[in-house]
Structure 1
Amino acid sequence: MKGRTIALDHLGDVEAAALIVDGVLQDLLIDSDLPRPGTIYRAIAERPMKGQGGVFLRSPDGPCYLRQIKGLSPGQPLLVQVTGYAEPGKAIPVTPKVLFKSRYAIVTPGAPGLNVSRSIKDDDLRDTLLEIAHEEMSGEAGLILRSSCAAAARDDIAEDIRSMAALAAQVMTDAEGDAETLVEGDGPHALAWRDWTDPAEIATEAGSFEVHGVLDALEALRSDRVPLGGGASMHVEPTRALVAVDVNTGGDTSPAAGLKANMAAMKDLPRQLRLRGLGGQITVDPAPCPKKDRRQVESALRAALRADWIETTLVGWTPMGNLELQRKRDRIALSEVLG
């Protein structure tokens, strides 16, 4: 099946969204009962973590952890935003840099300036978008116009800016009081509308996951083994400390087997991590990989990461020949959702 399809459905009673491109599942969003990234709290400072430069906060959903904060006194209220999902048993990660993000606009309180996505190259279009921004924005908050503005109607962009600016103004003046949830993070269907902006067929009927093969893909994701073709495979296994990725050549014993398996693994690794909701420290144990092949393998991974939308840092090679990455935890692990 050629083309892009966005399926908005449910897994049982849980809201979910899937992005399918040319018949292959590319992204998957599943709701949970955990605080969603993007949620904004008025939280209350509690005890600082001496020597770590952080502080615990009290929120309606439990303890939060804020890194590298100075001048915050116990009992002081603070507006913070959830940045990702907490590891089991740990506090919710938050930041004081609150953003109000929608399909076309991101309002940035405390960071003034009107900016247009660098992926929009057309000078006339950039000028038009900045004109809209100047018309709609007032006050000290900044604005970023997203790449999705390139194909959007002027009125839609203006309405999006007004909506986000009004929400930001309302929330940022509500900083005093006890711990409270001020804005809920977006659920899967809203995130799909917000972030999957390329033209696509939209399937909203019940059972669309089954029709478009999402349920079969979910069943395959229950296994840690990922076929790579030619008998090669990789195993993606989350542990308590890190995510271990083991690449194998299978029955191929040719001189180029290791390079072929590693190249195939690097091209598919970001998609596999995205679909499985895995982040944190990622350690890849490649198939046999001489040092002369490392640059080629690394280039394949960098290219795949450029097409990914989850913040990932390629840390480098270890003395034992493993490749390490650090990936933001902005998804819940699929194993926790599916059980």
Structure 2
Amino acid sequence: MKGSVIALDTYKGRMAAAQIVDGKLTDLLVEPPEGVVLPGAIFRAICDRPLKGQGGMMLRLPGGRSAFLRQGKGLKPGERVLVQVTGFGDDGKAVPVTQKVLFKSRYAIVTPGAPGINVSRSIRDEEARVRLLEVAHEVMQGGEEGLIIRSVAANADLDEVAEDIAAMLDLSRAVLADADGDAELLVEGPDPHELAWREWPEADQLDADTGAFERHNVHEMVASTRGALVRLTGGATMFVEPTRALVAVDVNTGADTSAAAGLKANIAAARALPAALKTRGLGGQVVIDFAPCPKKDRRQVEQVLRAALKADGIETAMVGWTQLGLFELQRKRERLPLSRCLEGQ
């Protein structure tokens, strides 16, 4: 099936959203188990104890949870601080947080403490930039907060953009004014349906009715994603397997024995890898064992991989080749691994 589909439904009793392009699952969001703090959540936290030698501070969150603030210089135990969750904590570890709180929606990001109105550089049409800036200045009315107009706003209705900016501005001011009291959750992190609306581009079809996953064969796609095997074009394969230390990726040429088999398999793997990691919720250290190919072809594989990761949107650093011929990535942990989301399912 050609075209793009966004399906909003439940999977195994958990809220879920699936992005499908040309019949392939390219992104998947699944509600984590109860008690897991979602990235984007904003807390009023209480400073607990500094971590000497690391420059960080342990914070107390409501419900007996703890958080780790990497830059805690100048803070004292007992002090209240406003923080935002940046990712999922590993099992038994504190939730990572930052003091750089953002109020993010589909069209706009309000940035308290970072003044200035900016339009995404992805919007190159000067007329569109001028129209969006006019809307932004009208809504912000010289406020002290900063604002970023997101790229998706380029083709959006200007009234909707204005409403989005106003909603985020009101929310930011309400949260920043609520400074007193014990540790408290002030803004919940986005659930899968909200995150899909906020982050995914508009699809050819949006199916939000009950049974959407059945109609678009999402259950079968997710079942395949829960395994390690990824089938590539030309009969090649890729295995994506998480360990405690890293994510191991192995690329194989399959039955193709031609001289260009390795390069073709590696290019196909480079294009498919971001979606394979994203749908499985995997990040951290990623080590790729590409199929054997001449060293002169490595640059081409890198270029394809760089382009695929840029379009992917999750912050990923291409570390490079090791002496053993492996390729290393360092990828931000923005997702909870699918295996943890579906524990016991």
Query: Hey, what's the Cα distance between the residues in 2 that align with 1:65 and 1:106?
Result: 24
TM-score (norm 1): 0.97
Q: Distance in 2 between matches of 1:179 and 1:200?
A: 43
Distance (Å, rounded) in 1 between the aligned partners of 2:235 and 2:166: 54
Question: Aligned residue for 1:328?
Answer: 332
The aligned counterpart of 2:26 is: 26
Correspondence 1:196 to 2:168: no
Report the Cα distance in structure 2 between the residues aligned to 1:197 and 1:321, rounded to whole angstroms: 36
Q: Secondary structure at the match of 1:6?
A: strand
Aligned to 1:136: 139
Compute the TM-score of the two structures, normalised by the length of structure 2.
0.95
1:1-339 to structure 2, matched below 5 A, reads 1-32=1-32, 33=34, 34-60=36-62, 62-137=65-140, 138-339=142-343
Unaligned 5+ residue runs, structure 1?
A: none
SS in 2 for 1:158: helix
Comparing 315-324 with 164-173, greater Cα deviation is found at 315-324
Asked whether the equivalents of residues 4 and 21 of structure 2 are also in contact (C-alpha less than 8 Å), the reply is: yes
Structure 2: how far apart are the matches of 1:319 and 1:63?
40
Shift of 1:239: 0.6
Q: How big is each residue's C-alpha offset from its partner over 1:160-218, in whole Å with a ceiling of 9 and x where there is no partner?
A: 11100000001112223211000001101111111123243111121110110111101
Structure 2: where are the runs of 5+ without partners?
Answer: none
**SS of 1:230's equivalent?**
helix
Q: Write the letter of the residue equivalent to 1:46.
A: D
CA shift for structure 1 position 128 = 1.0
Cα distance in 2 for partners of 1:317, 1:46 equals 42
Name whichever of 290-299 and 95-104 sits farther off.
290-299
The count of aligned residue pairs is 339
**How far apart, in 2, do the equivalents of 1:89 and 1:319 lie?**
34
1:154 and 1:249 map into 2 onto residues whose CA distance is 50
Percent identity among equivalent residues?
61
Amino acid at match of 1:70: K
User: Quick check: 2:46–2:81 contact (8 Å CA) kept in 1?
Assistant: yes
| Deviations 1:41-65 (CA, angstroms, capped at 9, x unpaired) | 0111112221122111111251111
Q: Which amino acid aligns with 2:255?
A: G
